[in-house]
Structure 1
């Protein structure tokens, strides 16, 4: 039986999330049923596969807000609204699923945010057209594959903290996201923070932690 961490919200400001992708259909079903029976508090399921979703009983799905692009599902709604605003900025439409995972995690966490897609550096005018909107955010999540050049460009244009999410999108040596990860880690932009490849969830959680501290300071 899964040991649910019901005290995590009080400890770190975010409730436990369930990573479904590495679990069997039977494990996800059992955990979701246990959660639905144990609490009415919001819970987030990430990397929820189509077959895992299809196996859930109506007692769970009736309380589930599912999104297939991000493969996330919110059980029992969302958390109360938090102060601050985040911009999730994705280089290309190929990065949309990772950006959507970040966006949905922010939505679940009660964080206002803007999702800005297809503003990669191959067409800088598209990024320039959205700069005022991006600069208005308290935190920027930059989602990019291939050479992840968007990360350094944004890091040099905005004052807000930039959390980089390298993605596994790309051709040849870029495939798998290692090139994007190394590029983001080696960014010449000062103070850029980097999470793991395709980890939109982790980037959003980092933003939530930062916003929580900003709220305390205010």
Structure 2
């Protein structure tokens, strides 16, 4: 069986069409019409007829037929119903750019296949419209998220927790998104808010909580110094989230992002501007692994 690189080279050389490559991805073969010549990628052997040497890409990357086929086609969305089986968490809905009807339809369909559904970046008016269609949803206004749980109380993992540290009250929407997402992964979350470097003593008061966390998420705008300060105080991995909070030279969070990327503190990893979701999700994955050990 050839590897993925070989398939891509065949497509690039014109020896394998995109359609044929897609058929390989699905693990199926398309029969040639009568009188057609050899298929691209087919090999002739001295002992018999042509054999198709093209790889089954699904098998190459370790996916079963059930996994590649388990997609719910809504026309405007292709729902990945096996996401939770592969990654440990079901597909999440990004609400910006979607209509309330689309969000509601996706959430209702996902409810049939998992015990939790999460939609992010939902403004209040859109949230109300979605909740008028889909029942049982909860809106988290500060985090701008909609959630649904099959059971009233989501079972939390035993063991460690995630600390979410927020520099200022203006950063709360991003911090709350990170905290909520982490909780949706089953993690326990400790919140430490409004402890920016302008009053460092506020952070030091909570140092014992910080140092016991399996993962620390630091959310800050302005110059973003809080991530470096925390990184120098704890032995746990720190996920820094730059926010777009700040005056003109903050450049919508770019200045904060660059400052965090240039942190001299070890153990600090940085996600995109205002990406509380990415930080919460990653922290949840780390905490889940550590809690199992």
Corresponding residue of 1:29: 104
| Post-superposition CA distance 1:145-173 (Å, at most 9, x none) | 01100000000011111000000000111
Give the aligned partner of residue 141 of structure 1: 217
Larger Rg: 2
Given candidates 130, 133, 137, the residue that maps to 1:56 is 130
Equivalent-residue separation in structure 2 for 1:40 and 1:76 (angstroms):
9
Asked if 1:18 is matched to 2:93, the reply is yes
Write out aligned runs for 1:75-114 (5 A): 75-77=148-150, 79-83=154-158, 84-114=160-190
Deviations 1:30-73 (A, max 9, x none): 3233334x335211111112232122254623x11211110111
Tell whether the 8 Å contact from 2:163 to 2:216 is kept in structure 1 after alignment. Answer: yes
Q: Which has the higher contact order (CA 8 A, sep 6+)?
A: 1
Structure 1: gaps of 5 or more residues: none
Matched residues in 1 for 2:132 and 2:209: separation? 40
Residue in 1 that maps onto 2:142:
69
In the alignment, does 2:233 pair up with 1:160?
Answer: no
Contact 1:25–1:51 (CA under 8 A) maintained in structure 2: no
CA contact (8 A) 2:131 2:137 kept: no
Which deviates more from structure 2 when the two are superposed, residues 113-122 or residues 14-23? 14-23
Q: Do the aligned residues in 1 keep the contact of 2:166 with 2:172 (CA within 8 Å)? A: yes
Tell me, yes or no, if structure 1 residue 3 matches structure 2 residue 78: yes
Alignment gaps of 5+ in structure 2: 1-73
Q: 1: CA distance between counterparts of 2:202 and 2:191?
A: 14
Quick check: 205-214 or 155-164, which moved more? 205-214
Query: Structure 2 length as normaliser, TM-score?
Result: 0.69
Q: Once superposed, which parts of structure 1, at least 4 consecutive aligned residues long, lie more than 4 Å away?
A: none
* 1:152 aligned counterpart, secondary structure: helix
Counterpart contact for 1:102–1:200, Cα < 8 Å: yes
SS, match of residue 45 in structure 1: strand
Task: Note the alpha carbon deviations across 1:117-167, whole angstroms, 9 max, x for none.
Answer: 110001111111111111111110000001100000000011111000000
> TM-score, normalised to structure 1's length?
0.92
Could you list the per-position Cα deviations for residues 93-128 of structure 1 after superposition, in whole angstroms to 9, with x for gaps in the alignment? 010010000111122121111111110001111111
CA distance in 1, matches of 2:145, 2:86: 23
How many residues are aligned here? 215
RMSD across aligned positions (CA): 1.7
Aligned-pair distance for 1:29? 3.0
The 3-state SS of whatever aligns with 1:75 is: strand
**Does the alignment pair 1:42 with 2:116?**
yes
